[in-house]
Amino acid sequence: MRQSSSLLSSSEDIARYFREASLPSQQETLGQIVVELLRAGKNVNRKGICTKLVRRLEVASTAEEEKHYQQLIGLLLGR
C-alpha cells in the first residue's frame, strides 16, 4: 500500500515537472544551435554558438527565456 502511494506521488511529480517545463534544457538548446549551424554549412565553434545565442536573446519574449540564454552565454564564456 505504502509503495503504491509513493509511486503515484512520484508519477505526479514527474508529470507536473513536464507540464511546467516551458523552456528546453541547456543541452537541448545547444544541440538545436549546433544542428542549425551544421545545416547552414557553418563551422561549429564558440563564436558561432554565441552569435546564435545572442540572436535568440534579442528576440526572447519572456524574462525566463532571457535568463536561459544569458546563462548559456555565460557558460560558453566561462563566467
Tell me the average confidence (pLDDT) per consecutive run of 10 residues in the chain, 79 residues long.
54 65 83 95 94 97 94 88
Tell me the domains of the chain and their CATH numbers: 24-79 (1.20.5.5260)
- DSSP character string of 34-70: HHHHHHTT---SHHHHHHHHHHHHHT--SHHHHHHHH
- As a whole number of angstroms, the distance between CA 75 and CA 58 comes to 18
The pLDDT value given to residue 53: 96
pTM of the model: 0.70
